[in-house]
Each structure stands twice: as C-alpha cells, then as structure tokens.
C-alpha cells in the first residue's frame, strides 16, 4: 500500500496504480486500475478495438507491455483481496 485516505487505499506496483475502497480496516471494492503517466493517472480503455491510455485531457495509444502490466496488476489485486 502506497497511501490511504479515509475512503480509499492506493496500491502501487511499478507504474501501475489501483484505488481500493476502504471499509474500516478492511478492503472493499476495487476502483480504477491504471498507469501513472506525465498527464496523471491514465486508465486503459478501448477505442475502435485499440488499447488507449486515457487521462484527464490526454489520450495515448497503450503498448502491448502496458496492457499486460495493467491486466496482471488488476488480476493480482483482485486475487489478493479475495483471499
């Protein structure tokens, strides 16, 4: 865990970031998972079948490695919280 607020935990691994709802001392649902870019937190979205990193006011094509990193991180966070 990189940080916490009264409502969320911020989980970080490499460039990947996930927001997880805080339920007292426990974790709730997983919010967005993305990558930190020069434009801020960018979420993986699909535009016309192509992966794109979308941040506030900015979009850039996501590389294959970035897509895989985000998917792996999301999967690992879900597994860790489930178990």
pLDDT at 1: 66
- What pTM value is reported for the model? 0.81
Domain boundaries of the chain, sorted by first residue = 3-82
Query: What is the per-residue DSSP string for the chain?
Result: --EE-SSEEEEEETTEEEEEEEETTEEEEEEEEEEEETTEEEEEEEETTEEEEEETTEEEEPPHHHHHHHHHHHHHHHHHHH-
Average of pLDDT values for 63-81? 93
pLDDT value at 28 more than 90: no
């Amino acid at each position: 865990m990189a940080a916490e607020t009264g409502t969320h935990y911020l989980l970080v691994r490499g460039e990947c970031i996930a927001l997880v709802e805080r339920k007292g001392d426990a974790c709730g649902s997983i919010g967005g998972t993305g990558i930190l870019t020069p434009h801020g937190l960018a979420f993986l979205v699909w535009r016309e079948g192509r992966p794109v990193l979308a941040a506030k006011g900015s979009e850039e094509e996501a590389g294959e490695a970035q897509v895989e990193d985000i998917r792996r991180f999301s999967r690992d966070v879900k597994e860790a919280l489930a178990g």
